[in-house]
């Protein structure tokens, strides 16, 4: 089928956290603020909250961490018992307030606020059609495209029908919290690529990317938002309505949420992330366990994997110690997004320091969740050798990442991925390890109690569950034809 110009995701990819809240008669701003704290790991570049007091919208969006983005007076000005929030993930190079969210727009029949986690693959086509109809865009992001399309549909129909029309036009991953005037909605894409769940509080309901945010507010997880579902929170916080607007045969849950991105204490699509990581670790031992004196996690992302791996090893009677041998300086920021390779390498040593007594004269196995560019593993192997390790084995709780993510995890380009064009043996040599093994794709599916076809495995297979220009698909998918934004009569 004919495709527009957007082979790559338009603008910055959005790997983010979203939240929405409707309370009986308490201001929503502060609980929204706390829930954004709980989602801080999903985005550190900017944070924002939009509330509605029944008459008008209030918005505060700023760069930086949640704790820095809001002052007491900012929170005090966010009136109203309903609202949405957003934390945005940093993408190298783009530090621009125009991309910060929630995105807001006012139009003839009201106001809209939008928080988006995910990435559309046909935003360019929709933007072109809307621009031709006179819509002016202020950012190059795909969230604004959703907002304008929804605003246009809202002029012609009711809220639920408008959301349905927009969902029928957009293609890609999206977990959205939306405010239409003082009504809060949650929408999850038909493949359920990004997580979104519903929680119940004493005096209201909450929508959040991860259940850890519900816990933080003292609420209970009701359930995940279903793929293709619209959840509409009652304005008085008394309940929610559900509309199954789009149904696709298969899901495409992102396995990387479980491997790396989500908090271990969150429950996503029925699985506690911590349990999933331990199970991945156990399977890693089963598939490629290696004799060594000590098993150590690469903190923090490798911890649950390493404990599962060590436990499975000990269950098998292996004489292996499970210990911490690398200490993380928690004040060092994200090494991953540092602009140059040289800086990234320096940053790993700044961030992780070995505990010599665990390492010296011993054979060690280090466990990490994933290898992207290979910077971390390469640095760690040499760090451990400098600290006197006899042997250094590396075990990874995910399959080799061979292709980029177009669905909102800002991974790296194909050229930067160490497994993009190299075998595991080559990579082992390049990072200088005595041995290296990854987990198989089948083990990932089994650990997540899923079948392969219900997961998005694009970054480990190079085949995607979406129609992306220049890439292969792993199923029959069709990008919606974007011809005109005028809704047909139905």
Best CA proximity match to 133, nearest among 488, 480, 484: 484
Question: 338: which 2 tokens?
Answer: 């540092």
103 contributes a contact to ligand 5GP by CB under 6 A: no
Question: 458: which 2 tokens?
Answer: 């694009």
The DSSP line for 5-66 is S-SSPSSS-B--EEEEEEESSS-SHHHHHHHHHHTGGG--SEEEEEEE-SS-EEEEEEES-H
Residue among 222 and 402 whose Cβ is closer to ligand 5GP: 402
Q: Which of 6, 224, 368, 434 binds ligand 5GP (CB under 6 A)?
A: 368
Residue among 232 and 448 whose Cβ is closer to ligand 5GP: 448
The DSSP line for 204-238 is EEEEESSHHHHHHTT-EEEEEPPTTEEEEE-TTSS
User: Minimum distance from CB of 100 to Mg ion (Å)?
Assistant: 26
Return the one option of Mg ion, ligand 5GP, none that residue 133 interacts with (CB less than 5 to 8 A, by type): none
* 294-313 residues near Mg ion, rule: CB under 5 A: 301
Edge-to-edge strands, sheet with 204-208: 57-63, 46-52, 82-88, 17-23, 204-208, 197-201, 220-224
Residue among 301 and 450 whose Cβ is closer to Mg ion: 301
- Interface with ligand 5GP (CB under 6 A), residue total 18
Residue among 105 and 350 whose Cβ is closer to Mg ion: 350
115 contributes a contact to Mg ion by CB under 5 A: no
371 contributes a contact to ligand 5GP by CB under 6 A: yes
Question: 474: which 2 tokens?
Answer: 């792993």
Q: Which of 181, 229, 269, 369 binds ligand 5GP (CB under 6 A)?
A: 369
Return the one option of ligand 5GP, Mg ion, none that residue 260 interacts with (CB less than 5 to 8 A, by type): ligand 5GP
Best CA proximity match to 39, nearest among 170, 199, 226: 199
Residue span binding ligand 5GP (CB under 6 A) among the ranges 101-109, 115-123, 159-167, 365-373: 365-373
State how far the Cα of 89 lies from the Cα of 98, in Å rounded to an integer: 14
Return the one option of ligand 5GP, Mg ion, none that residue 374 interacts with (CB less than 5 to 8 A, by type): ligand 5GP
Place of tokens 């040599």: 429
Return the one option of Mg ion, ligand 5GP, none that residue 59 interacts with (CB less than 5 to 8 A, by type): none
Residues identified as active-site: 16
Q: Which of 157, 299, 374, 462 binds ligand 5GP (CB under 6 A)?
A: 374
417 contributes a contact to ligand 5GP by CB under 6 A: no
> What are the CA-CA distances from residue 149 to residues 164, 231, 403, 462, 476 (Å)?
11, 19, 31, 31, 26
301 contributes a contact to ligand 5GP by CB under 6 A: yes
Do the strands 82-88 and 294-297 form a parallel or antiparallel pair, or are they unpaired? unpaired
376 contributes a contact to ligand 5GP by CB under 6 A: yes
User: Minimum distance from CB of 358 to ligand 5GP (Å)?
Assistant: 19
- Please compute, for residue 104, the number of CA atoms within 13 A of its CA located in the half-sphere on the CB side: 22
* Residues in touch with ligand 5GP (CB under 6 A): 260, 298, 301, 334, 336, 368-377, 409-411
* Residues in touch with Mg ion (CB under 5 A): 301
């Amino acid at each position: 089928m004919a495709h527009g110009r957007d082979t790559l995701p338009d603008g910055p990819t959005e790997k983010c956290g979203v939240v929405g809240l409707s309370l009986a008669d308490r201001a929503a701003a502060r609980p929204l603020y706390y829930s954004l704290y709980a989602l801080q790991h999903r985005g550190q570049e900017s944070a924002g909250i939009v509330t509605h007091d029944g008459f008008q919208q209030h918005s505060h969006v700023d760069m930086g961490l949640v704790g820095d983005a809001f002052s007491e007076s900012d929170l005090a000005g966010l009136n109203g018992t309903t609202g949405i929030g957003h934390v945005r993930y940093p993408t190298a190079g783009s530090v621009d307030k125009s991309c910060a969210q929630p995105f807001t727009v006012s139009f003839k029949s009201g106001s809209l606020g939008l928080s988006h986690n995910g990435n559309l693959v046909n935003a360019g086509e929709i933007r072109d059609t809307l621009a031709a109809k006179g819509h002016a865009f202020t950012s190059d992001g795909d969230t604004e495209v959703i907002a304008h399309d929804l605003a246009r549909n809202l002029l012609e129909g009711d809220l639920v029908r408008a959301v349905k029309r927009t969902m029928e036009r957009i293609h890609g991953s999206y977990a959205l919290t939306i405010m239409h005037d003082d009504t809060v909605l949650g929408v999850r894409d038909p493949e359920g690529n990004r997580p979104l769940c519903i929680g119940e509080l004493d005096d209201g309901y909450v929508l959040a990317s991860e259940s850890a945010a519900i816990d933080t507010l003292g609420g209970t997880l009701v359930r995940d938002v279903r793929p293709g579902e619209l959840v509409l929170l009652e304005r008085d916080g008394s309940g929610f309505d559900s509309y199954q607007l789009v149904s696709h045969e298969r899901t495409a849950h992102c396995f990387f949420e479980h491997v790396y991105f989500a908090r271990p204490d969150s429950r996503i699509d029925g699985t506690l992330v911590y349990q999933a990581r331990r199970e991945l670790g156990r399977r890693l031992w089963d598939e490629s366990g290696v004799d060594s004196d000590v098993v150590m996690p690469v903190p923090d992302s490798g911890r649950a994997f390493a404990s599962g791996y060590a436990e499975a090893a000990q269950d098998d009677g292996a004489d292996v110690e499970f210990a911490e041998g690398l200490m993380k300086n928690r004040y060092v920021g994200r090494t991953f997004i540092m602009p140059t390779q040289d800086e990234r390498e320096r940053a790993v040593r700044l961030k992780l320091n070995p505990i010599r007594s665990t390492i010296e004269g011993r054979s060690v196995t280090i466990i990490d969740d994933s290898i992207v560019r290979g910077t971390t593993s390469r640095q760690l192997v040499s760090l451990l050798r400098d600290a006197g390790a006899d042997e250094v084995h590396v075990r990874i709780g995910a399959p080799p990442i061979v292709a980029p993510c177009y669905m909102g995890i800002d991974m790296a380009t194909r050229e930067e991925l160490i497994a993009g064009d190299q075998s595991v043996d080559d990579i082992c040599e390049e990072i200088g390890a005595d041995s290296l093994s990854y987990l198989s794709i089948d083990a990932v599916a089994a650990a997540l109690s899923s079948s392969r076809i219900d997961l998005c495995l694009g970054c480990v297979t190079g085949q995607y569950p979406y129609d992306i220009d220049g890439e292969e698909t792993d199923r029959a998918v069709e990008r919606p034809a974007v011809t005109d934004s005028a809704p047909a009569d139905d």
